[in-house]
């Protein structure tokens, strides 16, 4: 599959870049995408939630009322979950939500997600470029020239670029990521993928092995 390479002015450079069918045109596996996205979100959870159970409370151990003759249920502890200010029964406790997936499955998930975007013509490639200084309006100009300013964009870089990253921080519809860190969730959570030319070979190298 071939796609045109544009410059930052939105002009077709006349160059074409080949997207390998083994990565950008596979038969999508929806279940692998589901599992990879689920893992990505689960691994981001802090898991620090906690409620106090009976053993965590310090309250008076004095018997609340006499055992019999009150006409109500017996009550032996102010820590009981049925008491105001008492413990919470079966409340959440700190836990680790992360889980592991096989590397092959994660690669299949990324290939499947990329194939969906390629099939829908949601992949754009722009020549490698850099800004002299971080300027948000310069990055807005690039997306405007490419006519994707109103889309949710995932900007994929081949290597770290501080100026481009800082230029994107105030733009809620643009996320910048390194090709080596590209995740299935990020692909599926964007409307358009904008690759700098050098990032394509990085992705293909990672997903082919």
Sequence ranges of the domains in the chain: 2-28+103-208
Name the β-bridge partners of 154.
Answer: 175, 193
Supply the pTM of this predicted model.
Answer: 0.83
pLDDT of residue 87: 92
* 2-28+103-208: in CATH 3.20.20.140: no
- The pLDDT-based confidence of 104 (bands split at 50, 70, 90) is very high
Count of other CB atoms within 10 angstroms of residue 69: 7
**pLDDT for the residue 154:** 96
Q: Confidence band (pLDDT; 50, 70, 90) for 167?
A: very high
Residues 6 and 190: beta-carbon distance below 8 Å: no
Q: What is the model's pLDDT at position 209?
A: 67
CA distance 191 to 195: 13
**Continuous H helices in 2-132:** 21-24, 30-43, 103-119
Confidence of residue 62 (pLDDT cuts 50, 70, 90): confident
* 3-class secondary-structure state, position 57: coil
């Amino acid at each position: 599959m071939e796609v045109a390479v544009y410059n930052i002015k939105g002009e077709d450079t006349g160059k074409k870049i080949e997207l390998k069918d083994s990565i950008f045109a596979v038969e999508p596996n929806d279940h692998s995408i589901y599992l990879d996205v689920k893992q990505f979100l689960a691994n981001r959870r802090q898991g620090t939630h906690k409620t106090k159970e009976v053993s965590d409370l310090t309250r008076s151990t004095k018997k609340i009322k006499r055992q019999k003759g009150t006409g109500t249920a017996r009550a032996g502890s102010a820590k009981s979950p049925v008491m105001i200010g008492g413990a919470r029964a079966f409340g959440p406790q700190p836990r680790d939500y992360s889980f592991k997936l096989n590397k092959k499955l994660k690669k299949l998930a990324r290939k499947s997600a990329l194939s969906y975007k390629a099939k829908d013509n949601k992949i754009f490639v722009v020549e490698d470029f850099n800004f002299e200084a971080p300027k948000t309006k310069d990055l807005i100009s690039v997306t405007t020239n490419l006519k994707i300013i109103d889309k949710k964009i995932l900007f994929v870089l081949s290597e770290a670029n501080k100026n481009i990253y800082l230029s994107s921080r105030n733009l809620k519809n643009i996320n910048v990521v390194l090709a080596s860190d590209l995740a299935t969730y990020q692909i599926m959570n964007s409307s358009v993928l904008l690759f700098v030319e050098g990032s394509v070979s990085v992705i293909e190298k990672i997903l082919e092995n």
